[in-house]
Amino acid sequence: MKIPLFLHLLGVVIWVGGMFFAYMVLRPTAAQLLEPPLRLKLWHGVFSRFFPWVFLSVGLILASGLYMIMQMGGFMAVRLYIHLMFALGLVMMLIFIYVFFSTFKKLNYHITREEWSSAGIVLGQIRLLIGINLILGMVTITVAVLGGST
């Protein structure tokens, strides 16, 4: 069970850690130092490199989580905190899928056409959704640590 747990935690660290860095460190620095067109191009580049890692992380988290649940006897056998972690994780995954296939696609469209105002609005939507996912990720980690300690 150590390898699936390691893969699960690795996925969480990459995804939640990446969101924390982007939201709390990169975003305020970019806003302070870069004019909107350059800032928007930066975010496009950052997301283009980060989102494949998120897809890999989501796959690792989902596969290892389901494997560990099955090793513990399935969904009917696991404790409530595991059900809560699973539900929160699914919501986070759905939000990410929406960001990637809807808002990020719109961001690409507006940046390609140098429609900076529209791109800025879409970036604000992405920022809000990533902020929600960051909070959900922190709550999920809290549930994992506190739920597993009782």
Give the DSSP letter string of 54-68: HHHHHHHHHHHHHHH
Q: Judge contact between 19 and 134, C-beta under 8 A.
A: yes
- Kindly state the average pLDDT of the residues 112-135: 98
Q: What is the pLDDT of residue 123?
A: 98
Query: 118 falls in which pLDDT band (50, 70, 90)?
Result: very high
- Taking only the tens place, the pLDDT of each residue in 18-40 is 999 999 999 999 999 999 999 99
Other beta carbons within 10 angstroms of residue 35's beta carbon come to 8
The more confident residue out of 149 and 139 is 139
Q: Tell whether the model's pLDDT for residue 91 goes beyond 80.
A: yes
Q: Is the pLDDT of residue 143 over 70?
A: yes
150, pLDDT greater than 70: no
**pLDDT score recorded for residue 87:** 98
Average pLDDT, the chain: 97
The model's confidence at residue 1, banded by pLDDT at 50, 70 and 90, is confident
Predicted pLDDT of residue 148: 79
Mean pLDDT of the region 97-103: 98
- Stated length of the chain: 150
Cα–Cα distance for residue pair 131/150, rounded to 1 Å:
29
